[in-house]
């Protein structure tokens, strides 16, 4: 950049123009580096910071002081490690990259702290459950089983049937109400939307045992002396309690899915003369079908492992009862709860087998939800690219002046 400065001398009133030379910036060679790049030297920095933090805290906790607990030592070492790692990384690659590296370490540490107990829990259930899990577990009940018999005797077929019937009935009661509530919260402009949303959010934090106590106090106790088996301990009452726990989960998930539907589709349907109800049924629901299916599966997974509401509704039964409207009925959560509390080792092992089967069912439900909710746009775009390449017409070359003749 060239700057021009004008000066005036007192002897002659003629301005003098002075031209200064442009400033030439210094050529500082700096290599562009992304925060995600992680070289071998960065690994050594990470390891060195960790070793330095451990050694420093070892001196402080076990040499200079009387010592402390292992948890305090680990917590102090981790804080010191983050500080040393941040200082060294900032000095080497800059503040931006150092901030990204430190936050990455914090996130990975938090994920590890959560992941390790989960792996230990699943592994423990898997090891203990396989001891009593045999093919007959899926075809037999507990008829004729005594405490002196081995854990492989009998099965949990009656509990599996009870779980399927109770959760199926609960889905039958809760799904229409959840869809209606989600449509009301998202598609209507009523002044009652805010109270309904507050009520749904409050139900999401409701303990499941409260749902069982509600059904027990309103439908079982008042009609206990009536002699009607429908208002006693049975799978139908259990399904009502499970429906209360499933309702807020499905409602909130479907509401979020309906918000993702573009407003242009609704406006186009209304512009063509369709009613709002017809628009919701023929445009909004088909568009959000994948997300709604995922919401249903998540609601089932929420209720399939509940035990507390079943203690006051279905009560549990060791034999097969395929009629959910009459008599006590078993389910997998109750099967696990009742066998784990027994004093004999065989019953405890059967409880672990039931817990393993229940865990596999929940895992299968989440896998189905993940499969249904997968992104299909990439596959469609890949399938359309070859067709577009084939169908694209060749551009016509312009004719030259001599070719027109």
pLDDT by 10-residue block (mean), the chain, 405 residues? 49 50 53 62 86 88 76 87 89 85 90 92 92 90 87 89 93 93 88 90 89 92 85 92 93 91 89 89 89 88 90 90 91 92 90 92 81 64 57 53 46
Q: Residue 31 domain-assigned?
A: no
Query: Are 99 and 216 contained in the same domain?
Result: no
Domain residue limits at 78: 40-128
CATH of the domain at 174: 1.10.3720.10
For residue 357, the number of C-alpha atoms closer than 13 Å in the C-beta half-sphere is 28
How much is the pLDDT for 95? 85
Residue-by-residue DSSP string for 189-226: --TTHHHHHHHHHHHHT--HHHHHHHHIIIIISTTTTS
Query: Are 182 and 249 contained in the same domain?
Result: yes
Q: Are 147 and 344 in contact (CB under 8 A)?
A: yes
Query: Are 185 and 316 contained in the same domain?
Result: yes
Phi, psi (deg, nearest 5) at residue 5:
-120, 125
Query: Are 352 and 267 contained in the same domain?
Result: yes
Q: Residue 404 domain-assigned?
A: no
Cα–Cα distances (Å) from 87 to 51, 203, 260, in that order, read: 15, 47, 44
Query: Are 229 and 348 contained in the same domain?
Result: yes
Q: Kindly report the CA angle at 373 between 170 and 167, in degrees rounded to 5?
A: 10
The beta strands (E) that lie in 135-282 are given as none
Q: Are 9 and 16 in contact (CB under 8 A)?
A: yes
How much is the pLDDT for 245? 93
For residue 291, the number of C-alpha atoms closer than 13 Å in the C-beta half-sphere is 18
Phi-psi domain of 36 (left: phi exceeds 0; alpha: psi -120 through 50; beta: other): alpha
Phi, psi (deg, nearest 5) at residue 315:
70, -30
How much is the pLDDT for 123? 93
Q: How many domains does the chain have?
A: 2
CA distance 41 to 93: 12
CA distance 130 to 142: 18
Residue in the structure block whose two tokens are 């577009």? 388
CA distance 282 to 288: 11
Q: Residue 269 domain-assigned?
A: yes
pTM for the model stands at 0.73
How much is the pLDDT for 174? 93
Phi, psi (deg, nearest 5) at residue 205:
-95, 10
Helix axes 40-62, 70-93, angle to 10 degrees: 140
Question: Hey, what are 207's tokens?
Answer: 């303990």
Rg of the chain over all Cα atoms, to the nearest angstrom: 35
Q: Residue 380 domain-assigned?
A: no
How much is the pLDDT for 12? 45
How much is the pLDDT for 403? 47
Buried b (16+ CB within 10 A) or exposed e, 149-160: eebbbbbbbbbb
How much is the pLDDT for 172? 94
Q: Residue 108 domain-assigned?
A: yes
Query: Are 167 and 117 contained in the same domain?
Result: no
Contacts of 46 (CB under 8 A, 6+ apart): 85, 105
Q: Are 349 and 374 in contact (CB under 8 A)?
A: no
Q: Residue 10 domain-assigned?
A: no
Q: Are 307 and 301 in contact (CB under 8 A)?
A: no
């Amino acid at each position: 950049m060239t700057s021009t400065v004008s000066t005036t001398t007192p002897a002659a009133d003629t301005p003098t123009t002075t031209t200064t030379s442009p400033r030439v910036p210094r050529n500082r060679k700096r290599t562009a580096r992304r925060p995600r790049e992680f070289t071998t030297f960065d690994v050594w920095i990470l390891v060195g910071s960790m070793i330095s933090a451990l050694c420093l805290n070892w001196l402080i906790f076990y040499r200079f002081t009387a010592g402390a607990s292992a948890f305090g030592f680990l917590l102090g070492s981790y804080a010191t490690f983050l500080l040393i790692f941040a200082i060294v990384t900032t000095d080497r690659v800059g503040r931006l990259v150092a901030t990204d590296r430190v936050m990455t370490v914090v996130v990975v540490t938090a994920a590890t702290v959560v992941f390790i107990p989960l792996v230990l829990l699943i592994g423990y259930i898997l090891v203990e459950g396989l001891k009593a899990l045999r093919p007959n577990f899926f075809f037999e009940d507990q008829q004729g089983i005594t405490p002196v018999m081995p854990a492989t005797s009998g099965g949990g077929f009656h509990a599996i049937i009870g779980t399927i019937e109770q959760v199926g009935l609960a889905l039958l009661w809760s799904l229409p109400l959840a869809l209606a509530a989600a449509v009301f919260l998202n598609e209507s402009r009523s002044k009652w939307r805010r109270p309904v949303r507050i009520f749904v959010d409050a139900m999401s934090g409701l303990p499941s045992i409260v749902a069982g106590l509600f059904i027990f106090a309103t439908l079982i106790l008042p009609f206990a002396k009536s002699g009607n088996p429908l208002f006693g301990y049975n799978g139908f009452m259990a399904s009502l309690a499970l429906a209360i726990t499933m309702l807020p989960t499905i409602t909130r998930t479907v509401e979020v899915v309906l918000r993702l539907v573009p407003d242009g589709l609704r406006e186009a349907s209304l512009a063509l003369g369709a009613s709002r109800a017809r628009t919701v049924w023929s445009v909004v629901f088909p568009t959000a079908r994948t997300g709604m299916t995922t919401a249903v599966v998540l609601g089932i997974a929420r209720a399939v492992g509940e035990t507390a509401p079943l203690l006051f509704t279905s009560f549990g039964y060791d034999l097969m009862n395929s009629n959910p409207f009459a008599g006590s009925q078993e389910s997998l959560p109750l099967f696990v709860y009742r066998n784990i509390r027994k004093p004999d080792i065989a019953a405890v092992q059967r409880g672990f087998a039931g817990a393993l089967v229940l865990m596999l069912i929940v895992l299968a439900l989440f896998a189905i939800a993940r499969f249904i909710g997968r992104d299909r746009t990439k596959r469609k775009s890949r399938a359309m690219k070859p067709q577009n390449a084939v169908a694209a017409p060749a551009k016509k070359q312009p004719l030259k002046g001599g070719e027109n003749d």
